[in-house]
Structures are given as structure tokens and as C-alpha cells.
Structure 1
């Protein structure tokens, strides 16, 4: 899970769709698979299957860095109303591991988030 800086409600539905596209591309660069993605106005959830050779910290750094740069570039007027000072994401993140049956529960949790309208 990644949250926007200061939990500002910066995301629109269109931005979440674009964020998912960006994060899928970044995952592919790491030979990882973005299995599930969803979010709300102030955060996103990802379910990622990544190979053991990929370092989680580098994957997260790329996911956050690339998405922040491209979303700011493509949606600058909107983003600037909510986030300033060059920051997009909070410096922290949550990552947990799962497998087997709990995976279904995690997918359901991510699917059930209410995306912003518009």
C-alpha cells in the first residue's frame, strides 16, 4: 500500500487507471506481475508477484518514483492543487507477504475499494 503525501485526496478515477498502467510497466521491468490494483482518493493497493532475484526496496522505489514523475507530468494542474513541494507519495509503504488461500482474501480486499467518481 502506498499513500499520498499527507494523505491528500489527489487521485481521480482516471489517475488511478493511469497509475495502474504505469505500475504494470514498472513491474514488467522487474519481471514481476501486478496481479491486482485498486485505490481510493488518497492511496493505492497492489498485489504483486515478484521473483526472488528482485529486491523489494528497489521495486517499491521504482513503482513510487516512476508513477510520481509521470502522474505529475501528465496531470500537473490537478496534482498541484493537492500536492506541492515535489512530493507525491508518503515516504513509507506497507508490504506483506501471502500465499495460498489468503491470496483470495487479499484480492477481494483490494477489489472492494471504492474508487473516486470522475
Structure 2
């Protein structure tokens, strides 16, 4: 799952965009097992492909998961997140029915999530590069 520095191309753009996502189980309940994380990894890879994105890295603990996703500029992060959370919740309930005993109500995921852009040069370096451009007189 590497090649995180790979520059990708679209029809009219060249890009290398990454987002770090964190999803937390509702009420931070300890619900995930290793088998569930393996199922999620496969689901997340499949959903990313649907968005022409790549799951670069994935792991988690008993109550939350981390994803590093390389995605094209046309993808809205909120749409990607909604699909990732929705599909994983549905499939986990089907493949691991024991998860229902660990949830309160019907919700697997907290409605909120963490997203941070990452990769490439630090913001300060990019600002400095832009400031040093030769502005025409």
C-alpha cells in the first residue's frame, strides 16, 4: 500500500492529494476486533476505487480507525466519508453480526469525523515559494 508520493494524472490535472481520516465508533465503544478491521480494510479499498481514490494506509484500535487516502481533486471528502462509513457499517453488520451486541441503538459510527490534508511540502515552504515568484512589472 505504498507509493504515497506518486504523482497522479487526470484528464486536465496533475495531482498528489492525501487526506488523513479518523472515524470513531459511536460513544467510543470497544467494538472492533482484528477480523472486523480486516473486513473494513477490504471495504474501504473497494469504496476508494469507486471514487478513483487509493487507500494508502489503514489501521485501527477497538474504538476507532485511521485511513490515509490519496484522492483526485474532483472528490468531495464529505461524500467519500459518507460512503466509507455507510458501506462499512452495512457490511460489518452482515459479516460480523456479533457487532450488534456491542452497539447502543443502530449506529456504528459517531456522526463526526476527523479529516486533515497531508503530504507534500509544509505550508510555510509553499508560502515562501509563492512569495518568491517573479511578479511582472
TM-score (norm 1): 0.82
The answer to whether the aligner puts 1:94 opposite 2:120 as a matched pair is: no
- Gaps (5+ residues) in structure 2? 1-21, 123-137
State how many pairs are aligned: 101
TM-score (norm 2): 0.71
Query: CA deviation digits over 1:18-56, x for unaligned, max 9?
Result: 100000000000000000000000000000011000111
Aligned residue for 1:11?
32
Flag the structure with higher strand content: 2
* C-alpha RMSD of matched pairs (Å): 1.2
- Secondary structure of 1:92's match? strand
The answer to whether the aligner puts 1:63 opposite 2:84 as a matched pair is: yes
- The one of the two structures with greater contact order (alpha-carbon pairs below 8 A, sep at least 6) is 1
Which has the greater radius of gyration? 2
Flag the structure with higher helix content: 1
- Gaps (5+ residues) in structure 1? 103-118
- Secondary structure of 1:36's match? strand
